[in-house]
Amino acid sequence: MSAAVGLNLAVAGLIQGLLIALAGLAVSLCFAVARFPNAATGDFMTFAAYAGVAAQAWTGSLLAGAASAVLLTAGLAVASYVLVFRNFRGRSLVAPLIASIGLAFLLRSVLTFFVGFDQHSFHVPIARAIVFAGARVRPIDLWLAGTSAVTLLAVLAVLFLTPIGRRMRAVADNPELARASGIRARAVMLTLWTLIGACSAVGGVMLGLQTVVVPEMGWNLLLPAFAAAVLGGVGNPTGAVLAGIALGLVQALSTPLVGFTYQTAISFILLIATLVLRPQGLLGRAEPVR
């Protein structure tokens, strides 16, 4: 494997990793505060991509498309909290997990009922890659990297710099204590689900820009996203992002050794190995975010 080949594999891995990271971020937020793995995250992303494509077709602007996708998906996430997940407080995590799988199926089938199974795509100029020190980098890669960084910073800013973020972390640490000290769960949860929806939307639009928009696009990214959230340490958003990027890199860089069919499996093997050796995740602490 020459250096240039390795470098390009790393670039490809980084891009895949960023997409996993965005999905992992949304999963991790839900894991931290609402305390269950949300299997509907992938279909939130799919919904966002379709919403973005539709809005772009209607307004003619990619930015407007992406913005509407974020707004609509945040609304969808909040609605799913109000209608479904709110009612599981105090029950074992199996119930919301199963319900989130149901929600994932429901969302996808409502989508396909109205728009069918055909492939859609965003309208973006397709440009040749720029060769930079032997590595091919596409303009869209830079966009993706920038957007991911901004999204992560925004989420961290909300969590750590705002009063609602502080309350959110308090709920994540100890829901009973938080309730006892007078934190009203309602506002915290509404903010949380807005964040989850927005992160999923950014992930979905980015995924749609990188690939094509099909009904199963988000669902297919769910398991890697779970892996990232768990590897990053449950309830550690920064950890989920870093773990997502690491998973992408490992997948791409392992291909010269294991071939292309096993590359996804590699990240799952890594997941199982990590859980066995270090159940709190790579970057996790014994307790969620504090």
Kindly state whether residue 260 participates in binding another protein, applying the rule CB under 8 A: yes
How far apart are alpha carbons 148 and 165 in whole angstroms? 20
Site for another protein contains 201 (CB under 8 A): no
Nearer to another protein, 165 or 244 (CB): 244
Comparing CA positions, the residue from 201, 177, 232, 244 lying closest to residue 32 is 232
Pull the structure tokens for residue 198.
């927005």
- Taking the complex as a whole, how short is the minimal distance between the CB of residue 233 and another protein, in angstroms? 12
**Single residue of 3, 60, 116, 134 touching another protein by CB under 8 A:** 116
**Contact with another protein (CB under 8 A): which of 128, 163, 176, 286?**
128
Between residue 46 and residue 105, which ones bind another protein under the rule CB under 8 A? 84, 87-88, 91-99, 101-105
- Pick the closer one to another protein by CB: 84 or 185: 84
Q: Is 271 helix (H, G, I), strand (E, B) or coil?
A: helix
State the amino acid at position 202 in one-letter form.
Answer: V
Spatial contact of 261 and 33, defined as CB atoms under 8 Å apart:
no
Q: Looking at 79, 149, 187, 272, which residue binds another protein (CB under 8 A)?
A: 272
Sequence-distant (≥ 6) Cβ neighbours of residue 264 within 8 angstroms:
224, 251
Burial degree of 173 (CB within 10 A; 0-12, 13-18, 19+): middle
Q: Which of 227, 241, 246, 247 binds another protein (CB under 8 A)?
A: 227
Binding segment (CB under 8 A) for another protein, from list 128-136, 151-159, 177-185, 191-199: 128-136
Three-point CA angle 223, 144, 61, nearest 5°: 110
Among 127, 133, 180, 286, the residue binding another protein under the rule CB under 8 A is 127
- Comparing CB distances to another protein, the nearer of 191 and 251 is 251
CB of 240 within 8 A of CB of 229?
yes
d(CA 104, CA 213): 16
CB of 163 vs another protein, minimal distance in Å: 30
According to the binding rule CB under 8 A, does residue 41 interact with another protein?
Answer: no
Rounded CA gap, 290 and 281, in Å?
A: 16
**Does position 129 bind another protein by CB under 8 A?**
yes
User: What's the CA gap between 259 and 230, in Å, rounded?
Assistant: 25
State which residue, 75 or 105, has the beta carbon closest to another protein.
Answer: 105
Total number of residues binding another protein (CB under 8 A)?
75
Distance in Å, CB of 161 to another protein, minimum: 29
Q: H/E element holding 100?
A: helix 94-115
CB of 272 to another protein, least distance (A): 5
